[in-house]
Amino acid sequence: MRVLLVGAGGVGTAVTRIAARRDFLTHMVVADYDLARAEAAVAELAEHGGRFSARRLDASDQDAVRRVLVEERCDVLLNATDPRFVMLLFNAALAAGTHYLDMAMSLSAPHATAPYEQCGVKLGDEQFARTDAWARSGRLALVGMGVEPGLSDVFARYAADELFDDIEEIGVRDGSNLTVEGYDFAPSFSIWTTIEECLNPPVVYEKDRGWFTTAPFSEPEVFDFPDGIGPVECVNVEHEEVLLIPRWVEARRVTFKYGLGDDFIAKLKTLHELGLDSTAEVTVPSADGPVQVSPRDVVAACLPDPATLGDRMKGKTCAGTWVKGTKDGAARQVYLYHVVDNEWSMREYGSQAVVWQTAINPVIALELIADGSWVGSGVLGPEALSPRPFLDLLTEYGAPWGMREEH
């Protein structure tokens, strides 16, 4: 399989380190707007038989992306950029006749008059609008194939297939006990994406009501995470699983809750109150005259790159899916989960836990597509495909998952 990886940041670089150990990969073109970053990712993999090469590529130039896909004879485009570039890369892959895979879906837009009650443009709506075109192409656009969304959706499908006869609720729950030495505020994932998902109205799904929204950080609950992480307060956050799971899995309610912490929530609220979460450009004076900048991009530039924090991070991160329902007439609750210890991921791969946990899942999906275990066309989420091959391969990669019966 020949892959064009667009984005050589923390997750993209972790993808290269994981994929380098697998035989299914014939060649990966590592592309980034910053050529030096792509070259650095490739340079550390020199021992892997020249299967990696670097190119400069602007993800906002759809035609340039299409040309690279054709020139490099790529089978698939793996999108490791932030969600602003989803539709450009998604459409470039369709135009080039390749498969497409991402870890975050096309952006949402709040309802104009009732943002905390009704959905406006939902996450992924733009992509699902092109389902017929992808189906006609015979190619697969596998969307939301990171850890959350991604592995969490695979867990949901596995629970529906093998663990339950009837599902009342599926709740994705994410928490950690990670700390970053030397920083009062240093998000372990892209602040641009974090602001987007945390300050947008969260979406909830109910079978009798469909999709609807609530206020940010609503419905707090304390969830006890495994492997020593312990109790963490989680709140509603906008996330793709709520938009994906109900399309393929029968459940009466679907939610996503994230363990953010009071301090993190307070900082996000302050950014919002000051308008620093905005993506609309403002005019700022400079030595060379007025320049146009996005406040959110300024915030991102002022914070440390999450990919560089691994040596300062301690603790574990947990992604998982809680499912409540019945099996053989008896009530049942389970939590299917995946935990990564930062010390382990740094030692084994040189990548911090959060980006590594995100990166392993698209690599596994690529391998399943390459060997024919996952076959499909059109725009599909992870829960549209068989979960067992994925979970078996996750264990084979040395990153086993767990299941806890809840009471």
pLDDT band at 195 (very low <50, low <70, confident <90, very high): confident
Tokens 């109900």 — which residue?
Answer: 246
pLDDT band at 186 (very low <50, low <70, confident <90, very high): confident
User: pLDDT digit string (tens) for 284-295?
Assistant: 998 889 999 999
**pTM for this one?**
0.93
Question: What is the per-residue pLDDT for 362?
Answer: 98
pLDDT band at 189 (very low <50, low <70, confident <90, very high): confident
Cα(187)–Cα(178) distance, integer angstroms? 10
Question: What is the per-residue pLDDT for 306?
Answer: 80
At residue 191, what is the residue type? I
Q: Output the CA angle 296-106-295, nearest 5 degrees.
A: 10
Q: How far apart are the first and last CA of the chain?
A: 45
For residue 307, pLDDT over 80 is answered with: no
Percent of the chain exceeding pLDDT 90 equals 83
User: pLDDT digit string (tens) for 19-53?
Assistant: 999 999 999 999 999 999 999 999 999 887 789 99
CB 101 within 8 A of CB 78: yes
Q: What does pLDDT average to over the chain?
A: 94
Q: What's the average model confidence in pLDDT over 8-13?
A: 95
Range in 50-59, 113-122, 299-308, 311-320 with the lowest mean pLDDT = 299-308
At residue 157, what is the residue type? R
DSSP letter, residue 103: S
Q: What's the average model confidence in pLDDT over 202-217?
A: 96
Cα(340)–Cα(316) distance, integer angstroms? 6
Q: What's the average model confidence in pLDDT over 257-271?
A: 88
Cα(399)–Cα(389) distance, integer angstroms? 14
